[in-house]
Chain A
Amino acid sequence: MGLFSQLAEKPWTPEQAAIDDRHKGVEFSLTTPQFGLRVFLGFVTVIFTLFVVVYVERMVFADWKPMPEPWLLWVNTAILVISSIGLQWAWVSADKGDADGVKKGLYLGGVLAFAFLTGQLLVWQQLVVLGFYASSNPASAFFYLFTALHAVHLLGGLVAWGRTAIKVKSGMDMAKVRGSVELCAVYWHFLLVIWIVIFSLLLFT
């Protein structure tokens, strides 16, 4: 039953009570961590949306100068895509109970995430060499800000990834790690989408 139709219930009537007494007290058929992650992703989405809105608003002012687009960013994007695929692979394997696949997918995803972060640092370095500092112009300020925030989120994800990897390595039961692997994968895909939005913003403006 939808949230909104519930708002129309009359909790004080006997008819409704007969239904309500059987209610399990749970709204969504998600596990608690799954649901928690989704709420958190909602929060992060609001943050990034607001950043994008501010970016678009700031663009219209006269001092806006487009940024160079280092080719390395394409490489990094590809790395992040493969990293996401790795985690997807781990997730699918976990569903099938294939411990080996989980391990491989998880390691691939994690290592590539580190590679992505290193790549981002290199991009920063290239830009600094070209003379684009955060204070040089608003576009580069936004670029540093966005990439830094994205990286912080990815680092947070890597902490969760590390804990999952330890569990997997210690040979924990697949049924038990399945949940953590899934959460990591969902988070990775989410960060990939965010990255693609940031990157397109940079390319098209």
Chain B
Amino acid sequence: MAYVAPAPAEVEEVELYHAKSFITKYVFSQDAKVIAIQYSFTAIAIGVVGLVLSSMMRLQLGFPDSFSIIDPADYYQFITMHGMIMVIYLLTALFLGGFGNYLIPLMVGARDMVFPYVNMISYWVYLLAVLILVASFFVEGGPTGAGWTLYPPQAILEGTPGSGGGIILMLVSLIFFIIGFTMGGLNYVVTVLQGRTRGMTLMRMPLTIWGIFIATILALLAFPALFVGGVMLLLDRVLETSFFMPAIISMGEQLEYGGGSPILFQHLFWFFGHPEVYIVGLPAFGIVSDLISVHARRHIFGYRMMVWALVAIGGISFIVWAHHMYVSGMNPWFGFFFATTTLIIAIPTALKVYNWVLTLWKANIRFTIPMLFALGFIVTFVNGGITGLFLGNTAIDVPLSDTMFVVAHFHMVMGVAPLMVIFGAIYHWFPLMSGRMLDETLGRIHFWVTFIGAYSIFLPLHYIGFQGVPRRYFEMGETNFIPPSVQDLNAFVTVVAVMVGFAQILFFYNLFKSMSSGEIAEKNPWKAASLEWQTPEQPPAHGNFGDELPVVYRWAYAYGVPGAKDDFVPQDMHPDEVGGEGAHEASKE
């Protein structure tokens, strides 16, 4: 077919805010790239706090008699803060606020987010939420020890550590987080739908953007449930309403509460909590698809199917929440329904895994560090996914509920797996963000220590869980059903965990050193086809694309196009320049 490319230009220009002073350029900045970096630094900083807390817990679990750094109350508080920080303040904020802000405008060909001012406020509200969370460590009674699920009634009753100021600050912090997130989320959704450049149809968007986009929609639908639960729990705590609180006799005394339903809170919490897994998961799926495609020099296998799977997973994730509540005394039919939906969601998920593997099949794989982390992700995700299938079945879940097996499962699937993607993504996009490469050797050491370490930590926990060791226990003491081997394993796990924790110093050292003195990155070092690498400057300047916005002629996966002069064709290269027959044949095989 004779193809005539349309004349370029006629991309509608937007008015761009130009910062005038240092403060508005780097502190109260409205540039999504700066906001992204602010989000990332804050999220990683609080994430390190979460990591330190986990080491303290591990020391206790591994050597219950040798350390007296923490007492049982501390242990509860540390679990709670660790879980909350990792899931919400680190992963959610980093994937959406960090990667979302950096990549959406660049990858869809926009100069910035559509509401830059709101976007800026979003970060500052998030920072406020983090500060409130941190403040709860310093109030009387310390942070809440209710568990990251914050189940009433115990979450707000005296006797639970941090039931004073701690739980109040926790809830207030969550409410602020949600407000801040909503402001960001509004930007991500509207920018993706309304702010793309000419020629960038939805189905030409890189999967990274699809993942972040669907995850944002999920978040906008799921966070309201946490908001509602949080506000009502706060009122129960502060004004002694009884939304969730049943009649309670505490130490021989009848409390003011009565009539409320704790199970109602559980429903609200998990209506948020399960989609939350995918709010973290979908951006990871998207990013890893792109990492694999770029570093294997191959178009992603089954692009459309990958998009459909993202949409399907997003939809189904709203009807599986009660698989977290099998032991709450629910009607067996109810359990049956949720077990079925849970198994159904495995289908699109498995599809994605097949497509990643098929993309790699006979591809020209380059074992760069991002590729290593991407492979690490696939393996870990499959691992955690399979134990998820076990736990999704009511009959298997009931005995395993609240054991270390569950801890092992969710750390694999939503702890280690997304972290692998985050590391991979940082190694991949660092040259774009800073103009310099990260050190290769340090990176390889970092990968292997983290990967092998993560398995040494979490594989044994599956076994420990099978032996019946419950989660959220400060110590087991002399428990006759638990064999001594468990204690040895626990000690081993702790030693590895502390080592892996320290190994991350290597990563931070690499980051900071490379930022100032790393090897200067050549333009588009990975030879990627997507738009973010095609900016006139690297790192991209304010406004991203210089004088004229790019015009897009193909999808982001044009690798190995026959006859083209290079082995990849950037999305915005005019068909006449491509050479060969490759103009639009892209990488159809």
Contacts and interface: CB of A to CB of B under 8 A. Distances in A.
Interface of A: 3, 6-15, 17-18, 20-28, 30, 32, 35-36, 39-40, 42-43, 46-47, 50-51, 54, 57-58, 61-64, 134-135, 138, 141, 145
B221 to A, nearest CB: 6
Given A9-B201, A12-B588, A21-B5, A32 B227 contact: no
Contacts of A30: 194
Contact of B553 (A6, A21, A51, A57): A21
Contacts of B90: none
A138 B259 contact: yes
A38 B198 CA distance: 24
A14 B198 contact: no
Interface string B474-491: 000000000000000000
Given A134-B239, A141-B241, A21 B199 contact: yes
B190 A47 contact: no
A39 B220 contact: yes
A197 to B, nearest CB: 15
Contact of A54 (B11, B243, B552): B243
A22 B6 contact: yes
Contact of A25 (B200, B235, B271): B200
Contacts of B584: 13-14, 17-18
B199 A23 contact: yes
Range for the number of chain B residues in contact with chain A:
35 or more
A152 to B, nearest CB: 11
7 contacts: A7-B307, A13-B584, A23-B200, A25-B109, A26-B193, A32-B190, A62-B259
A145 B203 contact: no
A23 B198 CA distance: 6
A18 B2 CA distance: 10
Given A14-B585, A39-B189, A145 B3 contact: no
Given A21-B553, A26-B194, A7 B311 contact: yes
A12 B555 contact: yes
Given A32-B190, A138-B259, A27 B555 contact: no
Nearest to B216: A39
B286 to A, nearest CB: 15
Interface string B104-138: 00001100001100000000000000000000000
Nearest to A30: B194
Contact of B224 (A3, A20, A26, A47): A47
Contact of A27 (B1, B202, B241, B307): B202
B586 interface: yes
Contacts of B189: 39
Contacts of B1: 14-15, 18
Contact of B242 (A50, A54, A141): A141
Nearest to B1: A14
Contacts of A35: 190, 193-194
Contact of B203 (A7, A40, A47, A57): A7
A138 to B, nearest CB: 6
A29 B366 CA distance: 43
Given A17-B554, A32-B190, A138-B259, A43 B114 contact: no
B194 A27 contact: yes
Contact of A21 (B6, B182, B193, B260): B6
A25 B588 contact: no
Contacts of B190: 32, 35-36, 39
A172 B1 CA distance: 53
A140 to B, nearest CB: 9
B103 to A, nearest CB: 16
A168 to B, nearest CB: 21
Interface string B397-429: 000000000000000000000000000000000
B368 interface: no
Q: Which 5 A/B pairs are nearest by Cβ-Cβ distance?
A: A63-B259, A25-B196, A141-B241, A14-B584, A47-B224
A192 to B, nearest CB: 21
Interface of B: 1, 3, 5-6, 11-12, 108-109, 114-115, 182, 185-186, 189-190, 193-204, 220-221, 224-225, 227-228, 231-232, 235, 239-243, 256, 258-261, 264, 268, 271, 299, 303-304, 307-308, 311, 551-555, 557, 583-588
A3 B221 CA distance: 19
Nearest to B551: A21
Contacts of A141: 235, 239, 241-243
B241 A134 contact: yes
- Most chain B C-beta atoms within 10 Å of own C-beta, residue among A11, A35, A62: A11
Contact of B239 (A11, A17, A26, A135): A135
Given A18-B3, A58-B261, A25 B197 contact: yes
Given A18-B3, A39-B220, 12 more contacts: A6-B202, A12-B588, A21-B552, A21-B553, A24-B12, A27-B194, A36-B115, A43-B186, A46-B220, A50-B225, A61-B259, A135-B240
Contacts of A6: 201-203
A193 B27 CA distance: 40
Contacts of A20: 199, 201, 203-204, 552
A167 to B, nearest CB: 16
Nearest to B110: A25
Nearest to B187: A36
Nearest to B4: A18
A54 B268 contact: yes
Given A32-B195, A46-B221, A50-B224, A138 B201 contact: no
A7 B224 CA distance: 28
B203 A9 contact: yes
Given A22-B6, A27-B194, A32-B190, A145 B232 contact: yes
B263 to A, nearest CB: 9
A117 B571 CA distance: 54
Contacts of B256: 135
Contacts of B241: 134-135, 138, 141
Contacts of B585: 14
B260 A58 contact: yes
A64 B242 CA distance: 11
Nearest to A33: B115
A39 B191 CA distance: 12
B235 A145 contact: yes
A27 B193 contact: yes
B264 A58 contact: yes
A78 to B, nearest CB: 29
Nearest to B193: A27
Contacts of A46: 220-221, 224
B229 to A, nearest CB: 8
A17 B258 contact: no
